[in-house]
A and B are shown apart, each in its own frame.
Chain A
Amino acid sequence: MTTLATDLYLLVAAYGLAVAVSYAGLPVLGQGAFVAVGAFGTMQLAAHSVPLGVAVLTAIAAAAVAGYLVGFAAARLAGASLALATWGLAWLAYVALTLFPRLSGGAQGLTRPAPARLVSPSLGVEVSLHPWVHVVIATAISVVAGAALWRSARTAWGLDLAALRTGPALAHSLGVPVQRRRRAVLAVAAALGAAGGGGTAVLLGVVAPADYSPLLSLQLFVAVLVGGTATWWGPVIGVALLSALPNTADAIASGFDVDPLRARAVLTAVLLVAALAARGPIHRLLTWLPSVGPPADIGDASQAPALPATTATPLLELRSVRATYGAVVALDGIDLDLCAGEVHALIGPNGSGKSTALRIAAGTIDATAGEVLRHTDVVRTLQRTAALGELSAATQVAIGARARERVPYAGLRELLSTPAAQPLRRGRAAAVSDALTVVGLGNRGDAATRELDSAEQRLLQIARAVATGAPALLLDEPAAGMSAAQRARLAGVLRALADVGHGVLLVEHDMALVGRVADRVTVLEAGRVIATGTPERVRSDPEVARAYLGLSVA
């Protein structure tokens, strides 16, 4: 019973880590440190005569704060630095525990009587925490965690996690508050880790530093890794494997005459190698197998979601904007505006500042000087089609739709199916289907993104942006890699979007497409606007001809 309870507490910690690793895609190598905060925090507080329940909860809260702070290391460089920071944390905790016996009780650890007794004088109750009570508590937390993850697949939380996992840059461009979400995820992961640690400490009545070495962090990491990406049952499999580990290790240790702790390390290494083999070569084999899907065809672009404002109001204005990268002047004081209902093409030779203008307009980077007036929500597509292979097209568009929902506690509401959740979910589903239809992918919603051809992926990017509901759409070379027929379709899509009131700012090299679809063209050269007006006017402008063809003006 005690063994079962410890395994279940390990499962609680594993669920916490799963939220960070397999759902949010954050490489956390220091879950053991948070478990240790829960275990040693509980014991220390209880030793200083803090009531046991308060001690556990305080330790959990402390770990959550620590996790939240570590989230700052998950800032812009994200993955790599977070992995290093959490690995450093795992060793920091372990080294501190071994060097400061006052903190850890030395090699013998800290002890308290077990089974613990919960006494509440005010209520007049006295409960003895037998192992079966722990089994119930740990099972309850695990079931809640597992069920929340299982149900979250199509909820606001699930979409947030999918966005964090598959493309932080993309999620940011759609308006998902990536940093905040990452910190929240790490706080949750740390809290569940500490809950597991605190529970184990109370259950066993003893915590020793050796049990909270970085090896524990690696074991939890591999337990989460073997379950694959975003599966609620993954941690269960992983912890089941881990629970077999001590006995197997002891058998190996006595059979081959090695230190039991080394034997555990050997088995952990074996598990990690197996998980990696499944991830690398086997995963590659699976994705290499030719995918079967219906042949690509770009659908009908007649339907489009209606926007409230369809008058020609300015959505976005750039006033004398300057941008420099070090000594390089990318934009040298440009004026640019975008109105509702128009397709405004921004053209110019390579390096003329088009993408920089787009980034400044979207707020991704700040202008060095000048003014950017955004009268409405603005969303930008990235030049590179983000490779989010595993998600379905509909889910990706739903990430866009979710990005700008202004409903507090949407995730919680959906999880509990509160009355507010139904319209929320219906509204999101409608936004997704509208956005897919307007770009002509209405029949491809269920396809995994890697099954879409490159033209469809470009259209999907637009759908994602449309689904955010932002009136101003900034599209960076949406026609790249498209055939002539696909470009004709794209032109239809862009026209349809403008007709329902979107303002479309289009960076594009293909002059035929620009000529067909744009209401207005602005030409940049070396960071300056050299011409602006209708496509016909711009085409006959001698300055433009010189910039593009190098002709000297007579």
Chain B
Amino acid sequence: MSGGLVLQAVVVGLSVGAVYGLVGVGFSLLWSLTRVIAFAHGDIVIGSVLLAVLAVIGTTPVAVSPDVARSIALVLLALAFGIALSVASYAVAIRPFLGRRHRADDLLGWVAGGVTAGLVIRTALGVALPAAAYAVPDPLHLDGFGSSGVGSLPDGGSVPVRVFPVLVVAAIVVVAADRLLVLSSIGRAIRSVADDPDTAAMCGVPIERTLLVAFAVAGFLAAVAGVLYVPSAAVSVDRGVVLGLAGAAAALLGRFGRPRDAVVGGLVLGVVQQLTVVTPHLGAAWSELVPLLVLVVVLAVRPGGLLAPREAYAE
């Protein structure tokens, strides 16, 4: 493979990886707070966008650019649906199975709750949107930066122009979320609950409200990921699960439960995946398996993530 192809794979990989990172941040954040893996998180990524499409455009989205008003409505509704779905999945499918200290208690309960919430989201969407896949117009008009939508790289590579603004938007959102966690009072509350719910409660942190905000933040990030990802190719409603598992794999490449790791993990995963595409004998089909293989292998080797210390049994 030529240098141009490699460069192309790296550039595209970074933009795909940025999306994985946004999804992974949600998994890590929610795990650190509740010790629950948010199984519906991937479905929320796709679900938020498709619900917004249903509301604004209807059941036959076509890949023509929507006008300004519709574009704004699409983005705002997608963000709102992302927040709403995440908070709802918490209230209905996770909260009933948390125990003392708002930490995971009934294992089979929250696992079943999470996969059920995901199944409900994609089944409902599948009934409303029965076709195998949908090409969704880009509400951010990120293709509009180049004349043809395709940019040339040195050594003969070419990439969709949208990968650059996708990276910029993802970077802005990730940095903003990170600053929110570090600087704001609600961020402090979130970190304190993640560290020790008992002490946080004693210091007057409203745990229930903090968790709701954290699930809202995760839903917001999921929706951003969806808005960036969905227009890049035709998507099926089932795509959400695979995207979610890729996000979880990204989070596992660092230390599961440390949101910043997920961003780096996502970029690494995206680049590896795209390099697989241009590797002779492997190609696109194998690249689809990369995130899932990474997920299963990392879990078998280091269940807490590659950078996690080996842990003893929880007492």
Q: Which residues of A approach B to under 8 Å, CB–CB?
A: 21, 25, 27, 29, 69-70, 72-73, 75-77, 79-85, 87-89, 91-92, 95-96, 99-100, 168-169, 172, 214, 218, 221-222, 225, 258-259, 262, 265-266, 268-269, 272-273, 275-276, 279-281, 364-365, 382-384
> Is the Cβ of A172 less than 8 Å from the Cβ of B313?
yes
- Considering the chains assembled together, what is the distance between the CA atoms of A29 and B37 in angstroms? 13
Chain B residues contacting A25 (CB-CB under 8 Å) are 107-108
Chain A residues contacting B126 (CB-CB under 8 Å) are 259, 262, 265
> Is the Cβ of A73 less than 8 Å from the Cβ of B296?
yes
Contact A99-B295, Cβ < 8 Å, known A29-B111, A83-B111: no
Of A75, A169, A262, the residue contacting B123 (CB under 8 A) is A262
- Considering the chains assembled together, what is the distance between the CA atoms of A214 and B311 in angstroms? 31
> Is the Cβ of A276 less than 8 Å from the Cβ of B116?
yes
Max chain B C-beta neighbours (<10 A), residue from A83, A85, A89, A218 = A83
Contact A272-B123, Cβ < 8 Å, known A72-B300, A88-B295: no
Q: Which of B6-14, B216-224, B286-294 contacts A (4 or more CB under 8 A)?
A: B286-294
Of B31, B107, B241, B310, the residue contacting A79 (CB under 8 A) is B107
Q: Which residues of B approach A to under 8 Å, CB–CB?
A: 31, 35-37, 39, 93, 96-97, 104, 106-109, 111-113, 115-116, 119-120, 122-123, 126-127, 130, 241-242, 245, 248-249, 285, 288-289, 292-293, 295-296, 299-301, 303-304, 310-315
Chain B residues contacting A84 (CB-CB under 8 Å) are 37, 248, 295, 299
Of B119, B130, B315, the residue contacting A382 (CB under 8 A) is B315
> Is the Cβ of A80 less than 8 Å from the Cβ of B37?
yes
Given A262-B126, A273-B120, A280-B97, 11 more contacts at CB 8 Å? A29-B111, A76-B310, A76-B311, A77-B311, A80-B104, A84-B248, A88-B249, A88-B295, A95-B292, A272-B112, A275-B112
Chain B residues contacting A365 (CB-CB under 8 Å) are 312
> Is the Cβ of A76 less than 8 Å from the Cβ of B313?
yes
> Is the Cβ of A87 less than 8 Å from the Cβ of B119?
no
> Is the Cβ of B288 less than 8 Å from the Cβ of A99?
yes
- Considering the chains assembled together, what is the distance between the CA atoms of A549 and B172 in angstroms? 55
Max chain B C-beta neighbours (<10 A), residue from A91, A279, A281 = A91
> Is the Cβ of A218 less than 8 Å from the Cβ of B109?
no
Max chain A C-beta neighbours (<10 A), residue from B39, B119, B288 = B119
Of B31, B120, B300, the residue contacting A73 (CB under 8 A) is B300
Chain B residues contacting A225 (CB-CB under 8 Å) are 108, 112
Of A21, A88, A383, the residue contacting B299 (CB under 8 A) is A88
- Considering the chains assembled together, what is the distance between the CA atoms of A87 and B291 in angstroms? 13
- Considering the chains assembled together, what is the distance between the CA atoms of A222 and B123 in angstroms? 16
- Considering the chains assembled together, what is the distance between the CA atoms of A269 and B313 in angstroms? 33
Chain B residues contacting A69 (CB-CB under 8 Å) are 300
Chain A residues contacting B242 (CB-CB under 8 Å) are 91, 95
> Is the Cβ of A85 less than 8 Å from the Cβ of B299?
yes
- Shortest distance from the beta carbon of B125 to any chain A beta carbon, whole Å: 10
- Shortest distance from the beta carbon of A251 to any chain B beta carbon, whole Å: 16
Which residue of chain B has its CB nearest to the CB of A382? Answer: B315
Contact A269-B120, Cβ < 8 Å, known A87-B245, A91-B292, A279-B112: yes
The number of inter-chain residue pairs (CB within 8 angstroms) is 141
> Is the Cβ of B315 less than 8 Å from the Cβ of A384?
yes
- Shortest distance from the beta carbon of A398 to any chain B beta carbon, whole Å: 21
By DSSP majority rule, is chain A's interface helix, strand, loop, or mixed?
A: helix
> Is the Cβ of A218 less than 8 Å from the Cβ of B115?
yes
> Is the Cβ of B295 less than 8 Å from the Cβ of A276?
no
Which residue of chain B has its CB nearest to the CB of A364? Answer: B312
- Considering the chains assembled together, what is the distance between the CA atoms of A76 and B314 in angstroms? 8
Which residue of chain B has its CB nearest to the CB of A27? Answer: B111
- Considering the chains assembled together, what is the distance between the CA atoms of A88 and B241 in angstroms? 9
- Shortest distance from the beta carbon of A225 to any chain B beta carbon, whole Å: 6
> Is the Cβ of B130 less than 8 Å from the Cβ of A258?
yes
Chain B residues contacting A279 (CB-CB under 8 Å) are 106, 108-109, 112
- Shortest distance from the beta carbon of B56 to any chain A beta carbon, whole Å: 23
> Is the Cβ of A265 less than 8 Å from the Cβ of B119?
yes
| 12 contacts across the A-B interface (CB closer than 8 A) | A27-B111, A77-B303, A80-B31, A85-B296, A88-B292, A88-B299, A259-B130, A262-B123, A268-B119, A269-B119, A273-B120, A279-B106
- Shortest distance from the beta carbon of A286 to any chain B beta carbon, whole Å: 14
- Considering the chains assembled together, what is the distance between the CA atoms of A27 and B93 in angstroms? 16
- Shortest distance from the beta carbon of B291 to any chain A beta carbon, whole Å: 9
> Is the Cβ of B313 less than 8 Å from the Cβ of A168?
yes
- Considering the chains assembled together, what is the distance between the CA atoms of A227 and B239 in angstroms? 31
- Considering the chains assembled together, what is the distance between the CA atoms of A528 and B312 in angstroms? 24
- Considering the chains assembled together, what is the distance between the CA atoms of A283 and B245 in angstroms? 31
> Is the Cβ of A272 less than 8 Å from the Cβ of B109?
no
Contact A266-B127, Cβ < 8 Å, known A76-B303, A84-B299: yes
- Considering the chains assembled together, what is the distance between the CA atoms of A268 and B242 in angstroms? 20
Chain B residues contacting A214 (CB-CB under 8 Å) are 241
> Is the Cβ of B296 less than 8 Å from the Cβ of A92?
yes
- Considering the chains assembled together, what is the distance between the CA atoms of A28 and B200 in angstroms? 33
Chain A residues contacting B107 (CB-CB under 8 Å) are 25, 27, 79-80, 83
> Is the Cβ of B96 less than 8 Å from the Cβ of A280?
yes
Chain B residues contacting A21 (CB-CB under 8 Å) are 108
Max chain A C-beta neighbours (<10 A), residue from B31, B123, B310, B312 = B123
Max chain A C-beta neighbours (<10 A), residue from B97, B111, B119 = B111
Max chain A C-beta neighbours (<10 A), residue from B37, B126, B301, B303 = B303
Which residue of chain B has its CB nearest to the CB of A256? Answer: B127
Chain B residues contacting A88 (CB-CB under 8 Å) are 245, 248-249, 292, 295-296, 299
- Considering the chains assembled together, what is the distance between the CA atoms of A87 and B295 in angstroms? 10
> Is the Cβ of A73 less than 8 Å from the Cβ of B111?
no
Which residue of chain A has its CB nearest to the CB of B122? Answer: A265
Chain B residues contacting A89 (CB-CB under 8 Å) are 296
- Considering the chains assembled together, what is the distance between the CA atoms of A398 and B301 in angstroms? 33
Contact A273-B97, Cβ < 8 Å, known A29-B111, A266-B127: no
> Is the Cβ of A80 less than 8 Å from the Cβ of B112?
no
Chain B residues contacting A258 (CB-CB under 8 Å) are 127, 130
